[in-house]
Structure 1
């Protein structure tokens, strides 16, 4: 879909809400439904959901996936480990100002701790590369834990610890970037939701490196959906109860008709959704491919109304920003 708008720099969340004097669950929440839009705080969520609603949540934890190239202005973003043991990686200028598009197949880049990455072949328009990675026998997760830092883009000027990029649901490390729709949840809020009668269906999808400049379509990512979660979602839909995904990653996982592996599902209005009714998500950049998924769930008209209102009311974008609840 085409959703054209200009995003003022003032609406880019540059620091976590905790640094703005808020709790994680103190961010703003714009609720969109066929009846219109309304303004809330995320702490209102239990009052906005119904007993029996099911929230599909991503249990992937974020890894510190950015590793500098010594004596250069480059950083390597570890995106996705492939079934054959190679990696998709992205080279960017320091502070993630822009993709580095001058890589050459066969070129080797040294990394901290004696590691290295060797580019083998382009994967996507000169941005992502299929690469061989040498982590000096540590294994990639252990290597990144020592030498990596969280991926950050130019709108986030300061460095923040990896804890700022985790969600309360994240238990299995593997995401290059935070499944950020789950960030506002706290243990206290989850307890309130459970007491309200809201149910949780955990799924797993390890997110790769986003494409904030080119807005590329999602590429295959690792996922797993427990049978208990799939059954819970199926029962809810059979009973007429609402299934609401927390984040676009959760949609992609639960909409894949398999239990685990690599999903290449792309949600568009033409495809539609089969297992979810609503979505809790952040606000997406102009022309972002995720907007197709939002349109598939909410419809074009409501989505346009949502973004007009979010811009007019000063909601904040990006992983440290505010959130949007799309309800049927």
Structure 2
């Protein structure tokens, strides 16, 4: 499909630079089938879902994966993208023309990395020096990797260390937050439990490639970056049982959705999964695992807007986004939410 079919005009003032406070006060646009849109707020979610429905959260934890350093006199920026092993990461590099394989980058606080290899997409493999775990080095020298549409408008600060982390964050490895879950609070969770709505978790370490703009004219020419994920056998079994009993599987975020779909066969059975997924969902895709999606509002011409268009239909999502813009919904990572039920 042509990428320009997924374009739309978004006023700059609609981009959220800070999250709603409290988190569950964010607006939530409920879109169910062809029913009229409903303007709600996140804390009303327990009254909207049905007993027996299952919300599936991503428990990945964002690491401070943004690094600033030097190679000689040249300033070099690195955004870690995907872990290779204990000491090596793939990284997107700013000022990459000043970096070549074999160079040493000197970051803050004595942290160094060897630029081992330039990859086909222009990123580099970085090997971190020293004996300390890379996680320790990143806590010392790194900052939270806010998306460029936020970081380009204000500096990252201490508040982002908690704001850009969900309450479910447990497994270190993401370089971008599973932002749909940023809206949840202990109060919402207690209300969900009281309403008989089930919660499950999986792990998908979100990579920065998920949010990159497409640089091709047709979706068939776009190669997704792979991300590592895991669904254990007990979780898969519970999800299958809940669906068999009539519960709806609602993915909280496109990251949860993509891993669930990667783990599900054509028979609709969710299976244990551990490994990389590069699934790219565009209109025409037949969903096998999920019955709905809670997600924020995404960038024009992004793979994520293509995904929600596959779920609800392109014309329907164009109408949804027009309504959201007209009604002053806040967009992107720190923005408001939507609940999409085909």
Deviation of the 1:72 alpha carbon: 5.0
State whether structure 2 residue 64 is matched by structure 1 residue 64.
yes
Q: TM-score, normalised by structure 1?
A: 0.89
Give ranges in structure 2 of 5+ residues lacking alignment.
Answer: 216-221, 264-271
Q: 1:101 to 1:294 in 2, by over 3 A?
A: farther
Matches within 5 A, 1:41-190: 41-70=41-70, 72-82=74-84, 86-92=88-94, 103-112=99-108, 113-124=110-121, 126=122, 128-129=123-124, 131-152=125-146, 153-156=148-151, 157-161=154-158, 162-190=161-189
SS in 2 for 1:159: coil
CA distance in 2, matches of 1:247, 1:280: 6
Which residue, out of 264, 267, 274, partners 2:288?
274
Q: 1:60 to 1:114 in 2, by over 3 A?
A: closer
Q: TM-score, normalised by structure 2?
A: 0.86
8 Å contact 2:52–2:247 — kept in the other structure? Answer: yes
210-219 or 56-65, which moves further after superposition?
Answer: 210-219
Which residue does 2:336 correspond to in 1?
Answer: 322
Matches within 5 A, 1:194-205: 194-205=193-204
Deviation string for 1:22-56 (max 9, x for gaps)? Answer: 20111111111111311111111111111010011
CA distance in 2, matches of 1:315, 1:103: 41
8 Å contact 1:53–1:244 — kept in the other structure? Answer: yes
CA distance in 2, matches of 1:247, 1:229: 17
Which residue does 1:97 correspond to in 2?
Answer: none
CA distance in 2, matches of 1:29, 1:296: 20
Cα RMSD, aligned residues only: 2.1
SS in 1 for 2:67: strand
CA distance in 1, matches of 2:181, 2:242: 21
CA distance in 2, matches of 1:171, 1:135: 26
Deviation string for 1:94-119 (max 9, x for gaps)? Answer: xxxxxx56644444322221412404
Deviation of the 1:15 alpha carbon: 1.9
CA distance in 2, matches of 1:240, 1:5: 37
Q: 1:117 to 1:9 in 2, by over 3 A?
A: farther
274-283 or 138-147, which moves further after superposition?
Answer: 138-147
298-307 or 313-322, which moves further after superposition?
Answer: 298-307
Deviation string for 1:210-232 (max 9, x for gaps)? Answer: 44444665311111102222112
8 Å contact 1:31–1:37 — kept in the other structure? Answer: yes
Which residue does 1:23 correspond to in 2?
Answer: 22
Deviation string for 1:161-206 (max 9, x for gaps)? Answer: 3111110111111101111110000111111101111101210000
SS in 1 for 2:55: strand
Deviation of the 1:290 alpha carbon: 1.3
Which residue does 1:221 correspond to in 2?
Answer: 227
8 Å contact 1:110–1:117 — kept in the other structure? Answer: no
75-84 or 185-194, which moves further after superposition?
Answer: 75-84
CA distance in 1, matches of 2:77, 2:100: 16
SS in 2 for 1:39: strand
Deviation string for 1:68-127 (max 9, x for gaps)? Answer: 11465432111111259632101137xxxxxx5664444432222141240402242x2x
